[in-house]
Copies of this chain bind each other. A is one copy, B any other.
Amino acid sequence: MRAKRIVLAQRPKGLPTTSDFRYEEFDLPSLQDGQVLLESLYLSVDPYMRGRMNDQKSYVAPYNLNEAIAGGVIGRVLESRSAQFSEGDLALAGYGWQTHQVENDKNLRKIDPQIGPITTSLGVLGMTGLTAYFGLQDIGKPQPGETVVVSGAAGAVGMVVGQIAKLKGARAVGIAGTKEKCDYLVKQLGFDAAVNYKDADFREKLNNACKDGVDVYFDNVGSDVSDAVLRLINRGARIVVCGQISLYNLEEPVASTPIPSLLLINSAIMQGFTVGNYAGRFAEGLTALAEFVREGQVKYEETMVEGFDRTIDAFLMLFSGENTGKMLVKVVR
């Protein structure tokens, strides 16, 4: 059987372009015992993928040239030679930007469509939700009455961070890139305040939103946005470094805030993490997140782009901030 995939044709310099990728057809191998044939329904596109396109050390290995871009996928079983999966079952896989795949069953996690919309397994009840859950609670450790600032607040991770901060009794202040996103955060998700970093008076507005300073900063963005927040940290602040999307497409590092000095002055802590560090606790996180969602305590949003041929567009839209919540590709229009 023939399938389609998107491979890395060359390593992007700066913002990726379509010429950095190549759509190609390939032959799927025949099924072996313990394997299933999957048809991709939804693909995940995530900012961290940009880092894997570079040939440099990171928390996950770089993508190889001429191989498919790996990432989260929701697939439907078309054929099974696995005792665990039947035709029609839904599964979470990691094979990435392909229309189909033959996969060993041990690399799959079955999705129960009764629990909720299946796409949540790539978002709030999947990697992005777990990232918010563990990063905020294990590193940020928000206390009642503290101020938690999250950048990229209208993204898949950020919106969950702010809502969990509220559940912990903290004030949640979001930073996002449009007025609509800011309104959404405050009016729909219950953030105490949201500030548009593109506003000319962003720093002043941020200061006003953080009258008692910043105790926890959950950073998805980096750069100037972070600089503004870091100027406001309180003694003992915790800075959770989850992402640095503003930097991923820069070819040269930019001058940054004198971070060690700020940490020194404030006896503050800055910690980088990746959700994989918490692999042993995913069940705990998913149980808690499912409860939050079921009770309506954590809401989520998805931005869906339709068509496998628009996968790269969807990926690039992450960097222009066109998504609210989890960005997904619906493979078949």
Set of chain B residues within 8 Å of A271, measured between Cβ atoms: 263, 267-270
User: Range of interface residues on chain A?
Assistant: 35 or more
Which residue of chain B is the closest to A270 with respect to CB atoms? B270
Asked if A280 CB lies within 8 Å of chain B CBs, one says: no
Please report which residues of chain A, range 241-277, place their CB below 8 angstroms from some CB of chain B when the two chains form the complex.
Answer: 241-244, 247, 253-274, 277
Cα distance, A59 to B259, chains bound together (Å): 15
Task: Report A185 CB to chain B, min CB distance, Å.
Answer: 23
Asked if A57 CB lies within 8 Å of chain B CBs, one says: yes
Cα distance, A271 to B139, chains bound together (Å): 12
Which residue of chain B is the closest to A239 with respect to CB atoms? B260
Asked if A98 CB lies within 8 Å of chain B CBs, one says: no
Cα distance, A263 to B268, chains bound together (Å): 14
Cα distance, A123 to B264, chains bound together (Å): 21
Cα distance, A45 to B63, chains bound together (Å): 53
Set of chain B residues within 8 Å of A242, measured between Cβ atoms: 264
Residue among A226, A258, A264 facing the most chain B CB atoms (10 A cut-off): A264
A267 touches B260 (CB 8 A): no
Q: What's the number of copies of this chain in the assembled complex?
A: 2
Asked if A19 CB lies within 8 Å of chain B CBs, one says: no
Cα distance, A253 to B227, chains bound together (Å): 13
Asked if A58 CB lies within 8 Å of chain B CBs, one says: yes
A261 touches B247 (CB 8 A): yes
Cα distance, A270 to B264, chains bound together (Å): 10
Please report which residues of chain A, range 216-252, place their CB below 8 angstroms from some CB of chain B when the two chains form the complex.
Answer: 219, 222, 226, 235, 241-244, 247
A residues neighboring B (CB under 8 Å):
51, 57-59, 219, 222, 226, 235, 241-244, 247, 253-274, 277
Q: What would be 15 A-B contacts, judged by CB atoms less than 8 Å apart?
A: A219-B260, A244-B260, A244-B264, A247-B261, A253-B258, A253-B261, A254-B255, A255-B256, A256-B260, A262-B272, A264-B273, A265-B272, A267-B272, A269-B270, A269-B271
